Amino acid sequence: MHIFLVILALVNVAAVIIIVSRNAKSAANTKANMVLINEYEKRLFNIVSNPQNAEFKTELNKMYEDLKYSDKNGVTDEDFKLDSILFRLEKVLTMEGENRKEIPVVMEELKMALARRKMEISDSKRGGF
């Protein structure tokens, strides 16, 4: 009888250890993704706040708000694409003359990436059987 209780206690301890480690890993992943998205948010805020970008401020601000209030608990393929799109946007906004006509194209690409990210996060949270 005592052996049965010891085995039962060991199984319970093992289950608690497994649950705690899974929760810790999940929390670490969530935090890492939130840091990534917050970094993108800061970069987009800097773009919006730059007076040289006043011509595009309304649309840029809309995208900033979309990212700022998006669900940051989850990882999608779009999260990693946002970095390169933001880099390109930062680059084209500093260009002059004929090269500036690329700005709306990159802004549309960012807008679509944010929309796809929102949809992918929503789909991932629906669950399933």
Domains in the chain: how many in total?
Answer: 1
Max Cα-Cα span within the chain: 86
Q: Give the pLDDT confidence score for residue 4 in this predicted structure.
A: 80
Q: Is residue 50 part of a domain?
A: yes
Q: Assess if residue 81 is contained within a domain.
A: yes
Does the residue 121 lie in any domain? yes
What pLDDT does residue 31 have?
62
Residue 14 inside a domain? The answer is no
Question: 103 lies in which domain range?
Answer: 33-125
Supply the CATH number for residue 94's domain.
Answer: 1.20.5
* pLDDT score at 28: 59
Q: Is 105 exposed, middle or buried (0-12, 13-18, 19+ CB in 10 A)?
A: exposed
Q: pLDDT tens for the chain, 129 residues: list them.
A: 778 887 877 777 777 777 777 766 666 566 667 788 999 999 999 999 999 999 999 999 999 999 999 888 878 888 889 999 999 999 999 988 787 889 999 999 999 999 999 999 888 877 655
Q: Is residue 38 part of a domain?
A: yes
The DSSP-derived string for 42-57 is HHHHHHHH-GGGGGGH
